[in-house]
Amino acid sequence: MSITDFVKILEVKRYSLNTIKAYESVVKLARSYFQKPLHDVSEDQLHQYFYELIHSKNISIAYQKQIALGLKLYYKEIYNKNIHLELLVPKRNSKTLPVILSLQDVNSLIYAAKNSKHKSMIALVYSAGLRVGEMINMKILDIDSKRMIIHVKQAKGRKDRIVPLSEKLLLMLRAYYKEYSPKIYLFEGQKRGKYSTSSFNKFLKAAAKRANIKKEFSAHSLRHSYATHLLEKGTDIRIIQKLLGHNSIKTTMLYTQVTSPMLQNIKSPFDE
């Protein structure tokens, strides 16, 4: 059976589109590395493959986990074989804090984007605290200007949620819509399909360079910044949890470690 068959199985089992693409990429990478069907690759060889990825490619813990789960599922679904790659995944992630952009950084980033489409995409991700995939999958009808809400559909965990629609963002989206006339998806590529995540990341990086932002940040930092800025304004942590679509309040509590007002109330003894 081929990788295409694996993808079809995941589609039938209603895995999210992002998960399907991630696991498909994982399998393709392994096939390319071994240059033979994975059925002929032993578990010991897979362990060695992991070792090389970690020490030569310096992959992140999150990607390491994704590779392990993707290959484990592939062997299970395609070969009905249980391999124990989950044993190679650390039980606990490293405790790194998210990179937070200031309001000035966000404004500079939007200003530095080259056109109304790029500006609107950055503004939407930040102003609604969206994951990039949620923005990419958003359709025109998901923007409800009468109720001033954004309907985020089938996000992580196949959950829908409602987030407020910024008045300033609505003005930007209307100007963008008048110029680009998208048909189905809010942001479409050159061939009218969905805009690609890689293209978004590419122009975001270029905008950051033009804006002279020195911080090493990712597209997901915009979502982190949204949550942190809400918390700094006094928004209840449980409301932020709902807006972000977190299952557990523990996930949202991470932002309490990076909020400025809480830290500003603490004076260093050096100041005395």
What average pLDDT score do residues 215-236 get? 90
Establish whether 223 is a catalytic residue.
yes
Q: Residue 218 in contact with residue 100, Cβ under 8 Å?
A: no
* DSSP summary character for residue 196: P
At 147-191, the pLDDT tens digits run 999 999 877 767 889 999 999 999 999 999 999 999 999 999 887
pLDDT of res. 224: 92
What's the mean pLDDT when you consider all of the chain?
87
Q: Choosing from 21, 31, 156, 161, which is the catalytic residue? A: 156
Known active-site residue 131: yes
Contact 250, 240 (CB under 8 A): no
156 is catalytic: yes
Active-site hit among 131, 194, 224, 229 = 131
pLDDT at site 265? 63
| Three-state helix/strand/coil letters over 53-90 | HHHHCCCCHHHHHHHHHHHHHHHHHHHCCCCCHHHHCC
* The pLDDT value given to residue 135: 94
Question: Which is catalytic among the residues 72, 118, 119, 223?
Answer: 223
Q: Which residues contact 254 (CB under 8 A, 6 or more apart)?
A: 97, 98
pLDDT average, residue stretch 80-91: 76
Active-site residue flag, 36: no
Q: What is the pLDDT of residue 271?
A: 60
Core vs surface per residue 203-235: b (16+ CB within 10 A) or e: bbeebbeebebeeebebebbbbbbbbbbbbeee
CA–CA separation, 66 vs 51, rounded Å? 15
Asked if residue 64 has pLDDT above 90, the reply is: no
Structure tokens at 67: 């590779």
Domains and CATH numbers, the chain: 3-88 (1.10.150.130), 103-263 (1.10.443.10)
Active site residue 47: no
158 noted as active-site residue: no
